[in-house]
């Protein structure tokens, strides 16, 4: 008989097995974030010209490990927890096949450890993209394959839970919007993992000598179907978390379920095609293919992101105005709970994702402009704005909600928690802006020594970047360290709370953090009350536009976007002077 | 979280709009989300690479 517990604080239902899985996955995520953060520090201190910490070999090894632990292991473990939360808890349903979910979890753990072992043995410093013909050890690929199989199982458990919920009639009407967002993430994840299998299994066979040749262009095309799409899992997930937090903190309802779901549908249909923006300077594929996939189709997905970016603050504004914060255009925002890290983290994630990550992404995804910054530090500048400022910060924000609700512990150091999102954000804003600045001046990504000392001593060639570029890399170093301090604060607060936070439930002990259930008395076999309130997908948005402040924000966004776009075209014109 | 107390009368019996039926059909969405990028990105892209003439 399925057992459920009701969280007295939030009213959320937790199915016993699903709860354990959410905890195990979330804790694994934070452990890998900690590892990734230590590695980020080493990478950053090496790219900071005056420090230049690591020797070249170690730099490339550590950079490979940083990318993989942060982008794959931290993010995807956390996403598994979100999938189980969005299906089981939000639909008030038992989780389908918890045993399979545990198998998936252990495969992911074994895979992650295997790949890390391969990297730190030193002969797999191939960066997370592992482009052929650069060889890594077989167990590097094998670990990634095991990890992916585990994640795929998690996706099927999610879909299975949707089916169980429907079959057992746990909800009325359509699934809630947050669950719909998780479904979008799950669908994109299945495509991502399938593409990964198509490319990584042959590459594994190549590394053990069973296949003699893999075409590099082919590799890049299929690898990026995985590499890019996996970023879109993150986008779909963190947008779902934005909606969830707006509902949790403000009781905000989406301005229009129909519009928000329509935007998610655009994600499902078009977001993955943008994978082609990684291939924009590759020979071998036509401009028709490149431009179709990165422009016509992809702009529909960008439109979807702008819709989400508009409707989430719009919903918050509407909820705040209903509470009486109606003065002027921005009282609703000024009077928002800025000292609650659940809100501040989420809101800054939204703003930074749009202004820093979104705008630069669209601009650099334009075929002609891409050539200016291809393979420069502009690229990691852009994606730290999406995956760190956007996704990671959103995940951090929801964690502050989950520690009491899911883990039944009070947060320790609430004063520190209040500051954490700000320190992290200030660090990341400067870090990404100055990386992009250095990239615009040509400083390469994935490069150990921007002074090219070896080239001059060995080959007698000299090349020097402008002094500004070096200065910018210094600022990248300092602001990178600041953001890492912000990240360390998060890890400290979360780990500290799980270990030493005041118990909100007497049986929430040490092992309960890793998935051991609470005392039997917390759970009951009675089925949760059926989830009512069918999200009516109404025919019209609410009458008029009830969020003038959000409208102003949107206009500011569009103007920034247009200006930045034209600056880049102007800049392109000066890269190739015509006389 | 807030619960809406007023449900407009008759929502149960109204026909479900076509768009909502599509959005509620999760396996249709799964199919579309995989088929579209597979055809437009992977298959089309690989066909272009395969059709590059081999150097002599
Ligand atoms: C918060 C502090 C962080 C700092 C200071 C930081 C710093 C850096 C630096 C300096 C690089 C090297 C750029 C280069 O030389 O090409 C890098 C690469 C990278 N980072 Fe981070 N990072 C942070 C967090 C993250 C997070 C949270 C993620 C993912 C969720 C992430 C994902 C990556 C990836 C994928 C790469 C590229 C690796 C490659 O080129 O193969 N980083 N990071
Ligand atoms: Cu991409």
Q: Whose CA is nearest to atom 43 of ligand 1?
A: A40
Ligand that comes closest to the CA of residue A229: 2
Residues of B with CB below 8 A from A175's CB? 24
Q: Please tell me the total count of domains within chain A.
A: 1
- Is residue A526 domain-resident? no
Task: Write the pLDDT tens digit of every residue in A475-484.
Answer: 999 999 999 9
ipTM confidence: 0.91
Q: Whose CA is nearest to atom 5 of ligand 1?
A: A480
What pLDDT is attached to residue A455? 83
CA of A225 to the centre of ligand 2 (A): 9
**In the predicted structure, residue B6 carries a pLDDT above the cut 70:** no
Start-to-end Cα distance in chain B = 69
Residue A379 Cβ inside 6 Å of ligand 1? The answer reads: no
What pLDDT is attached to residue A576? 64
Written as six digits, the tokens of A184 are 């979008």
- Is residue A124 domain-resident? no
Of the pLDDT bands very low, low, confident and very high (cuts 50, 70, 90), residue A267 is very high
- Is residue B55 domain-resident? no
Cβ–Cβ below 8 Å for A159 and B2: no
Which of A192-201, A290-299, A441-450 is least confident? A290-299
For the CA atoms of chain B, what is the radius of gyration? Answer: 22
Please give the Cα distance from A480 to A423 (Å, whole number): 11
Mean pLDDT of chain A: 93
Task: Write the pLDDT tens digit of every residue in A503-547.
Answer: 999 999 999 999 999 999 999 988 888 887 654 544 444 445 678
Any idea what DSSP says for residue A523?
-
Residues of B with CB below 8 A from A293's CB? 40-41
Residue A44 Cβ inside 6 Å of ligand 1? The answer reads: yes
Q: Best mutation site among B11, B15, B28, B33 for testing chain A: the one with the most A CBs within 10 Å?
A: B33
**In the predicted structure, residue A189 carries a pLDDT above the cut 90:** yes
Chain B contacts to A (CB-CB under 8 A): 1-4, 7-8, 11, 17, 19-20, 22-24, 26, 29-30, 32-34, 36-38, 40-42, 44-46, 48-49, 52
Written as six digits, the tokens of A498 are 């799980």
Task: Write the pLDDT tens digit of every residue in A135-178.
Answer: 999 999 999 999 999 999 999 999 999 999 999 999 988 999 99
**In the predicted structure, residue A12 carries a pLDDT above the cut 90:** yes
- Is residue B35 domain-resident? yes
| Domain, as residue range, for B40 | 22-50
**Closest approach of B41 to chain A, Cα-based (Å):** 6
- Is residue B36 domain-resident? yes
Residue corresponding to tokens 């088929």: B35
Q: Which residues contact residue A357 at a Cβ distance below 8 angstroms, ignoring those fewer than 6 apart?
A: A382, A383, A385, A386, A387, A389, A390
State the maximum Cα–Cα separation within chain A, in Å, rounded to a whole number.
82
- Is residue B28 domain-resident? yes
Residues of B with CB below 8 A from A171's CB? none
Candidates B1, B20, B52; nearest CB to A537: B20
Mean pLDDT of A555-573: 90
- Is residue A240 domain-resident? no
**The residue count for chain B:** 56
**In the predicted structure, residue A423 carries a pLDDT above the cut 60:** yes
Candidates B1, B30, B41; nearest CB to A11: B1
Q: By C-alpha distance, which of A450, A439, A440, A446 is closest to A129?
A: A446
Candidates B4, B24, B49; nearest CB to A285: B49
Mean pLDDT of A365-390: 94
Number of other residues whose CB lies within 10 A of the CB of residue A173: 17
Provide the CATH number for the domain around residue A410.
Answer: 1.20.210.10
**The residue count for chain A:** 579
Q: Which residues contact residue A151 at a Cβ distance below 8 angstroms, ignoring those fewer than 6 apart?
A: A76, A80, A104, A108, A189, A193
Residue A445 Cβ inside 6 Å of ligand 1? The answer reads: yes
Mean pLDDT of A392-402: 98
Q: Is A390 exposed, middle or buried (0-12, 13-18, 19+ CB in 10 A)?
A: buried
Task: Write the pLDDT tens digit of every residue in A243-266.
Answer: 999 999 999 988 888 999 999 999
- Is residue B37 domain-resident? yes
Candidates A215, A222, A262; nearest CB to B42: A222
Please give the Cα distance from A501 to A420 (Å, whole number): 17
The three-state secondary structure class of A376 is strand
Asked if A214 and A208 count as a contact pair (C-beta separation under 8 A), the reply is no
Q: Which chain B residue lies closest to A217 (C-alpha atoms)?
A: B49
**Closest approach of A427 to chain B, Cα-based (Å):** 33
| Domain, as residue range, for A470 | 337-504
Written as six digits, the tokens of A227 are 């590499």
Asked if A249 and A405 count as a contact pair (C-beta separation under 8 A), the reply is no
Residues of B with CB below 8 A from A532's CB? 3, 7
Q: By C-alpha distance, which of A354, A333, A386 is closest to A550?
A: A333
What pLDDT is attached to residue B8? 45
Number of other residues whose CB lies within 10 A of the CB of residue A318: 21
Q: Please tell me the total count of domains within chain B.
A: 1
Asked if A182 and A158 count as a contact pair (C-beta separation under 8 A), the reply is yes
Written as six digits, the tokens of A276 are 């082609």
Q: Would the CA dihedral through A137, A148, A243, A517 be positive or negative?
A: negative
What pLDDT is attached to residue A300? 86
- Is residue A490 domain-resident? yes
**Residue A187: C-alpha distances to residues A18, A221, A296, A335, A346 (Å):** 20, 20, 22, 38, 24
Residues of A with CB below 8 A from B37's CB? 191, 225, 229, 272-273, 275
Q: Could you write out the DSSP letters of every residue in A20-84?
A: HHHHHHHHHHHHHHHHHHHHHHHHHHHHSTTT--S-HHHHHHHHHHHHIIIIIIIHHHHHHHHHH
Written as six digits, the tokens of A387 are 């995956």
Give the H/E segment covering residue A14.
strand A13-15
Residue A357 Cβ inside 6 Å of ligand 1? The answer reads: no
């Amino acid at each position: 008989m399925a057992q459920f517990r009701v969280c007295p604080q939030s009213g959320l239902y937790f199915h016993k097995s699903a709860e354990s899985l959410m905890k195990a996955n979330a804790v694994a995520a934070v452990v890998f974030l900690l590892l990734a953060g230590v590695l980020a520090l080493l990478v950053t201190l090496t790219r900071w010209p005056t420090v230049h910490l690591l020797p070249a070999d170690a730099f490339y090894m550590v950079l490979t490990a940083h990318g993989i632990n942060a982008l794959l292991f931290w993010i995807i473990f956390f996403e598994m927890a979100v999938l189980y939360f969005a299906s089981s808890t939000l639909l008030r349903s038992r989780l389908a096949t918890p045993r399979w979910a545990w198998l998936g979890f252990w495969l992911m753990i074994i895979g992650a450890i295997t790949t890390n072992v391969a990297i730190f043995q030193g002969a797999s410093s191939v960066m997370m993209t592992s482009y052929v013909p650069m060889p890594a050890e077989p167990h590097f690929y094998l670990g990634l394959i095991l990890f992916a199989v585990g994640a795929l199982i998690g996706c099927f458990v999610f879909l299975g839970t949707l089916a169980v919920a429907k079959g057992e009639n746990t909800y009325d009407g359509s699934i809630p919007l947050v669950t719909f967002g998780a479904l979008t993430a799950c669908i994109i994840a299945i495509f991502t993992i399938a593409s990964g299998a198509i490319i990584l299994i042959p590459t594994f066979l190549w590394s053990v000598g069973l296949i003699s040749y893999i075409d590099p262009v082919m590799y890049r095309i299929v690898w990026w179907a995985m590499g890019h799409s996996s970023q879109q899992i993150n986008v779909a997930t963190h947008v779902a978390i934005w909606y969830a937090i707006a509902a949790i903190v403000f009781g905000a309802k989406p301005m229009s379920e129909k519009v928000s779901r329509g935007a998610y549908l655009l994600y499902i249909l078009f977001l993955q095609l943008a994978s082609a923006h990684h291939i924009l300077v590759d020979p071998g594929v036509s401009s028709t293919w490149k431009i179709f996939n990165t422009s016509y189709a992809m702009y529909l997905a960008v439109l979807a992101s702008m819709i989400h970016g508009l409707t989430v603050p719009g919903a918050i504004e509407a909820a705040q105005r209903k509470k009486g914060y109606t003065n002027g255009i921005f009282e609703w925002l000024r009077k928002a709970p800025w000292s609650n890290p659940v809100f501040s983290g989420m809101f800054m994630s939204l703003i930074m994702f749009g202004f820093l990550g979104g705008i630069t992404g669209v601009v650099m995804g334009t075929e002609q402009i891409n050539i200016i910054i291809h393979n420069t530090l502009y690229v990691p500048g852009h994606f730290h704005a999406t995956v760190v400022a956007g996704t990671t910060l959103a995940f951090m924000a929801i964690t502050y909600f989950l520690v009491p609700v899911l883990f039944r512990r009070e947060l320790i150091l609430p004063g520190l928690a209040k500051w954490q999102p700000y320190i992290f954000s200030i660090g990341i804003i400067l870090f990404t802006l100055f990386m992009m600045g250095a990239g615009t001046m040509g400083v390469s990504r994935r490069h150990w020594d921007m002074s090219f000392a070896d080239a001059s001593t060995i080959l007698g060639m000299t090349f020097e970047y402008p002094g500004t570029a070096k200065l910018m890399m210094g600022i990248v170093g300092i602001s990178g360290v600041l953001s890492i301090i912000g990240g360390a604060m998060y890890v400290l607060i979360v780990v500290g709370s799980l270990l030493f936070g005041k118990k909100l439930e007497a049986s929430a002990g040490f092992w309960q953090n890793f998935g051991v259930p609470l005392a039997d008395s917390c759970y009951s076999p009675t089925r949760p009350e059926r989830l009512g309130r069918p999200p009516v997908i109404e025919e019209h948005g609410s009458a008029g536009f009830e969020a003038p402040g959000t409208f102003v924000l949107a206009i500011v966004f569009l103007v920034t976007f247009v200006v930045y776009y034209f600056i880049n075209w102007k800049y392109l014109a000066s890269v190739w002077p015509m006389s | 979280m807030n619960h809406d107390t007023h449900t407009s009368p008759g929502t149960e019996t109204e026909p479900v709009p076509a768009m909502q039926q599509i959005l509620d059909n999760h396996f249709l969405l799964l199919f579309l989300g995989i088929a579209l990028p597979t055809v437009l990105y992977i298959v089309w892209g690989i066909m272009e690479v395969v059709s590059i003439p081999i150097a002599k």
